Amino acid sequence: MELVYRVLWTDNQEDLLNSAENVFREWSGTIPFELIVVSDEGYQIKEFRRKAQDGNRTTLRVIATENQQIIWVDVENENHDSDLGDLEHPRKLVASSIGLSEANGGDPRRGKSHFHMLLPRPTDTNISHFVSEIFNADRPISIICIAQDPLYETGKTIEMARKTAESYAGVAQVLYLDQGGLARFQNLVGSNYSLEPGELRIFPPSDPEFRTVLAAPSVLASDVRKAPYSSIDRRILRTIQPYMLAQPLPELCEKGLRSLRGFNDPLDEQKLERKNTDFENLLLENQNLRINFRDVSADLEHAIEEIENLQEQLTAKDIQRREAEEWWIQRTDALEASQAKSEMKRLEVEKRAISFALNESIQKFRDEETESITSVSEALMKGRQLLDHVEIATRVSTRLEDLDNNQRAKTWGRDIWKAFLAFEAYARAGFSGNFYQWCSSGNDFSWFSQSTAVKESDTVRNDERLYAQRVLPVSTEIEPTGKIFMESHLKFRGSMAPRLYFFDDTKGKTQKVYVGGIDPHSRWENTTT
């Protein structure tokens, strides 16, 4: 059996053991379930385990001491290929348990995060509280923000927010933002963590390694408006699930599980030690698997985003190809008729031909070279060897060895290489706008615009220490000192994920993009780190 869903919280309602049993019996209906009750020194635990339905086995456990009561729900899949949609019914059990606790005067919570079934109103006080929680490094659950779409009926957006709050009770807190509330929210969180009208954005718990604020890419208003709720729900669950599974069990829960599995039976000391050792090893292995699952899921999410980006690029490229074919036909006809009336026309044709040839060259690099990259170091080496319009600093990374030794080194290396190719194509294109605008316009080889930032915050600019961290190497043709303030940067995903800082001189003397720093996010401090 594979764990696919876990919700855990403390509750102070009276007689929780019996209350939870009543909820589980009503939820299970006619489907039989097992009940195990264990009383030990200082605590009592009940386990309700319903037989597998649709490949999923649901278990509810309640453990109570004199000072604390914990309830948690696990869903395990016997086929190791559970459809996330199959979790709808277990989530109703969680919602019922939390709803009953609130009705009985209980206070269900995880850490300092309170669980509520009702959708909070978008008041200034509530918005300020949610923003504070987003930047709270100890926040144990996710936050989902849903902004009103001016092209959508108000009631439908609110109804979707209420449904989401109920579906993710115990897993996430949901904030609905009307027009005025969205403006206040945007002002408080800043551009890196904001969302636009009609969008939905998820803020998972803080990164377990660096305790940094995480923010998944926003679900676009067009997707929220057009897609069925089941599709949106699946996307939310896919983002949140790895963080649910990575959360460790409190010591009291582990102790209760030992009792349920008979590890506290009066055995001789040698057997008892061996069983407990085996159990601890299994717990450690399970925790490591959950962490690996979180990282793999993050890679999958990134891959899905990349596929979507590539699909957009393919569409744009097909349009460009047809336009190019038409252009060549028209131009050829004109040239054949007039025998190249002027030198300017001949140069224009030659320039277009060279541009197409350069793009084909980049395409070859992307297709053939990307698959061979297994580390960040290899991406840097290839960038220096093969690209003419990208200048990579000699000491571009202070923690290159840490990046190369990370389990996501291959993913980061390939992504960084693709970023270099994007810089090369952008520099050759002679685009009138900046790099972010070029990526947003759907050009070939463009980088993810949502992971691109052109400027830093005013706080970073005005803080001498933060400013100094971003003074990085460039050509002396640009700055005689050989260093310049770089605020444009690209973001990558994952624990210890790097950020890439660059300076755009494509419209200056050198016509190049300078990469000054590639290091884990922790090096580049800001107001949230």
> For residue 129, what is the domain's CATH number?
3.40.30.10
Is 282 part of a structural domain of the chain?
A: no
Q: Do both 90 and 129 map to the same domain? A: no
Closest alpha carbon to 375 in 349, 348, 401, 352 = 401
Which two three-digit tokens encode residue 436?
């972010």
Find the farthest-apart pair of alpha carbons in the chain and give their distance in angstroms, rounded.
102
Instruction: Give residue 527's pLDDT.
Output: 58
* Same domain for 48 and 2: yes
Does residue 162 share a domain with residue 29?
A: no
On whether residue 286 sits in a domain, the answer given is: no
In a domain, residue 285? The reply is: no
Write out residues in the chain with pLDDT < 70, as ranges.
1, 79-86, 207-212, 262-369, 494-495, 527-529
Rounded to whole angstroms, the Cα distance separating 350 from 347 reads 5
For residue 148, tell me if it sits in a domain: yes
In CATH, what number is assigned to the domain containing residue 49?
3.30.160.110
Structural domain of residue 371, as residue ranges?
306-523
| Same domain flag for 150 and 88 | no
Count of residues making up the chain: 529
Residues 47 and 125 in one domain: no
CA distance 205 to 211: 9
Residue 272, in any domain of the structure: no
At 348 the pLDDT is: 53
Q: Is the dihedral of CA 230, 295, 251, 256 positive or negative?
A: positive
pLDDT of residue 294: 60
Q: Are residues 255 and 210 in the same domain?
A: no
Phi (first) and psi of residue 354, to 5 degrees: -65, -40
- Record the tokens describing residue 280, joined without a space: 């601890």
Question: What pLDDT, on a 0 to 100 scale, did the predictor assign at position 163?
Answer: 92
158 to each of 119, 145, 153, 193, how far by Cα in Å?
9, 12, 9, 22
H or E stretch at 45: strand 43-50
User: Is 186 within the bounds of a domain?
Assistant: yes
Is residue 452 within 8 Å of residue 439, measured between CB atoms? yes
Say which residues have a Cβ less than 8 Å from residue 241's Cβ, sequence separation at least 6: 4, 5, 84, 297
Are 319 and 415 contained in the same domain?
Answer: yes
Q: What element of type H or E holds 423?
A: helix 409-429
Residue 242 lies in a domain: no
Residues 43 and 125 in one domain: no
284-303 pLDDT, tens per residue?
666 666 666 566 656 666 66
Task: Please tell me whether residues 74 and 121 are part of one structural domain.
Answer: no
Three-state SS string across 76-88, please? EECCCCCCHHHHH
Total domain count, the chain: 3
pLDDT at 299: 64
Looking at the fold, whether 24 and 127 belong to one and the same domain comes out as no
Q: Output the pTM of the full model.
A: 0.53
Question: From CA 219, how far away is CA 146, in angstroms rounded?
Answer: 10
Residue 153 inside a domain? The answer is yes
Domain co-membership, 349 together with 496 = yes
Residue 100 sits in the same domain as residue 122: no
